[in-house]
A = this chain, B = another copy of it.
């Protein structure tokens, strides 16, 4: 990303960032990512191409920023000091509701971008990274059997596995069932499991 998100953006920069990302979301709901060109994004957003490249390296970079916008809500309302079991279920639920709240958008995107497309992989990978980060911060898991990194990744993988089944593969799994699956696959590793 060319633009520095850490400094607070000017009003103009806000307009530009919002315009490009909105256009990307709109286009993704209409056609496949590979058929979206920077030219098209700029024409629709009514900005010259040079401006696009002032902010983003390429269309993948803009996509990343879009996922960032989508998923940044997940960081809100964090409550540390939970047991591993609770934080596992809590993070799962938080991500579940995040995805639920963008369900229509996801549904439209899936109409134009097949499950095995690079777009969907990219989205999954982004979300997994977010979950990994949060786990890494809030999952306190003591053992000397296996490196903690591996356990964190294992947990993230499993959470994503179930969320992908629900929100990407569109399998009719209730939240209750999801919890059951999660416990079946990871329960043995979690404090306070039955």
Contacts and interface: CB of A to CB of B under 8 A. Distances in A.
A145 B181 CA distance: 7
A175 interface: no
How many copies of the polypeptide does the oligomer hold? 2
A154 B146 contact: no
B162 A150 contact: yes
A30 to B, nearest CB: 23
Contacts of A60: 118
B146 A181 contact: yes
Contact of A161 (B145, B154, B189): B154
- Counting contact residues on chain A (CB < 8 A from B), the size range is 20 to 34
A147 B171 CA distance: 11
Interface string A132-168: 0000000000000111011101100110011001000
Interface of A: 60, 118, 121, 125, 145-147, 149-151, 153-154, 157-158, 161-162, 165, 171, 180-181, 184-185, 188-189
Given A60-B118, A150-B185, 15 more contacts: A118-B118, A145-B180, A146-B180, A147-B171, A149-B165, A150-B161, A150-B162, A150-B165, A150-B181, A151-B185, A154-B158, A154-B161, A154-B185, A157-B157, A188-B188
